Amino acid sequence: MKIKKYDTFIMGHISKDENVFQGKTVNETGGAVVYSSCSSYAISHKTGILTKLSFKDGKHLEIFSILKENIITLDSKNTTSIRNIYHTEDKERRTCTALSIADPFEISDIPDNIDSRIFHFAGLISGEFDNEMIKFLHNRGKIALDVQGFLRTVGENKKMVFKDWKEKKEYLPYIDYLKTDAAEAEIMTGTKDRKKAAEMLFGWGAKEIMITHNKEVLIYNGKKYYTCPLKPRNLSGRTGRGDTCFSAYITERLDKGIKEALLFATALVSLKMEKPGPFKGTRDKVEDYIKKFY
């Protein structure tokens, strides 16, 4: 069996999204795995994907930028589908409803021939992954995890609500890169202070913490805080902000320091937020953006 080598191997459900904004509904193909993979691939990092969906919805795989040989697609009874109703101009407040959910990922879904420097858990809904996958893959590469896929739970009437990850203290020590947004960090730690929240998450075992906010991105590594402002000129591409930023950051961190990787990732996502859909720019465009606005 031929070994497949990647910088990042991203796992997560693709989603058939219904996005409702200012009374208009737009059907789009989304999911953290989509925005994350397009981000890392666009800036020339070798990217692999593991996703699950009903094969009857195979057309949604066309959203991916990378070669089909680097996409592992597993059949599921259903494809995840989410309705997002945005309540504010900046799209910071939204109501999410799970219309359907794909089958969860298990350890047996991970091929033995995958050799990746990073294994990225890019989930959408709690229960998407068997938690033991974290410990299992910890021995094969760095673990990057977005807590959205472990906090966002389907409640009454299929409405999504955020609940703390009960097993967080068991699994955080296995996580090299942890991503939360400000609200998720508060749910996990009980504090609105992002720096204090990052300290607590580090204390529980995570090695490097990213906390995203609508104004800036914060990184904490147990020694120092790093922040970088977001500078988009419009918010038409707000959806997928955190996924895009996290994926760019962790792949840049493979051969760069925190400060440099954070600047690049924050500039990249600022540029992405100006246009709907996954990031399809280039490294040169990001560098130009940095020169103009940073």
pTM reported for the whole predicted model: 0.95
Pairing of strands 4-11, 47-53: parallel
Q: What is the predicted pLDDT for the residue at 26? A: 80
The widest CA-to-CA distance across the chain, in whole angstroms, is 51
Contact 43, 278 (CB under 8 A): no
Helices (H) and strands (E) in the chain, counts: 9, 15
Q: What is the predicted pLDDT for the residue at 141? A: 97
Q: What is the predicted pLDDT for the residue at 91? A: 66
Q: What is the predicted pLDDT for the residue at 210? A: 98
Query: For each of the chain's 294 residues, which pLDDT tens digit applies?
Result: 799 999 999 999 999 988 887 888 888 899 999 999 999 999 999 999 999 999 999 899 999 989 899 999 999 999 999 998 888 776 667 788 999 999 999 999 999 999 999 999 999 999 999 999 999 999 999 999 999 999 999 988 898 999 999 999 999 999 999 999 999 999 999 999 999 999 999 999 999 999 999 899 999 999 999 999 999 999 888 888 999 999 999 999 999 999 999 999 999 999 999 998 999 999 999 999 999 999
DSSP result, 38-54: HHHHHTT--EEEEEEE-
CA–CA separation, 247 and 35 (whole Å): 8
Return the CATH number of the domain spanning residue range 4-293: 3.40.1190.20
Share of the chain above pLDDT 70, in %: 99
Q: Which amino acid is at 30?
A: G
DSSP annotation of 84: E
Tell me how far apart the terminal alpha carbons of the chain are, to the nearest angstrom: 46
Is residue 15 helix, strand or coil?
strand
Q: What is the predicted pLDDT for the residue at 90? A: 66
Cα–Cα nearest to 37, from 10, 12, 59, 62: 10
Pair of tokens at residue 14 = 């693709």
Contacts of 191 (CB under 8 A, 6+ apart): 185, 197, 200
| Sheet order of strands, 15-21 included | 24-30, 15-21, 80-86, 94-100
Q: What is the predicted pLDDT for the residue at 92? A: 65
CA–CA separation, 213 and 197 (whole Å): 13
Q: What is the predicted pLDDT for the residue at 23? A: 80
Q: Per DSSP, which regions of the chain are E strands?
A: 4-11, 15-21, 24-30, 47-53, 71-75, 80-86, 94-100, 114-121, 142-146, 152-154, 160-162, 177-181, 208-212, 216-220, 225-229
